[in-house]
Amino acid sequence: MKKAAPTDPRIYYTIGEVAQMFNVNTSLIRFWEKEFDIIQPKKNKKGNRLFTPKDVDNFHKIFHLVKERGFTLQGAKDALKVNAEQVDKEFEIAKVLEKMKAFLLLVKKQL
């Protein structure tokens, strides 16, 4: 699963691109958009959702809490509301550990 925020310099990502980043259905993204107020995509004249890199990062935090740490939706909402700074710290630590794991697996493969 990709789960990494995009590294290209684009301003907006479509709902399909975001869904592909996390290997989920677009319906989950629409559902979480309604459930979590930190995800607020722009909408163009056609009504298509356009997600900023900040939206993608927020989606990643929610994904981490719900799918990786096993929080309920309400638990994730509460954590983001009450302990937002702590969630950010833990999320950043998890990202660094993922990168280290990928690097170590690459080194192991090359040995």
Q: Which sequence spans correspond to the domains of the chain?
A: 13-110
Domain 13-110 classification at class level:
mainly alpha
Residue bearing tokens 């789960």 = 3
Longest dimension (CA), the chain: 53
Distance CA 41, CA 33 (A): 8
Distance CA 87, CA 68 (A): 13
Per-residue pLDDT for 9 more than 80? no
Distance CA 4, CA 32 (A): 18
Q: Which residues pair with 42 in a beta bridge?
A: 50
Helices (H), the chain: 15-22, 26-35, 53-63, 73-82, 84-110
Over range 41-63, report the average pLDDT.
Answer: 91
Per-residue pLDDT for 85 more than 90? no
- Is the whole-model pTM more than 0.85? no
Per-residue pLDDT for 17 more than 90? yes
Per-residue pLDDT for 76 more than 80? yes
Share of residues in the chain with pLDDT > 90 (%): 54
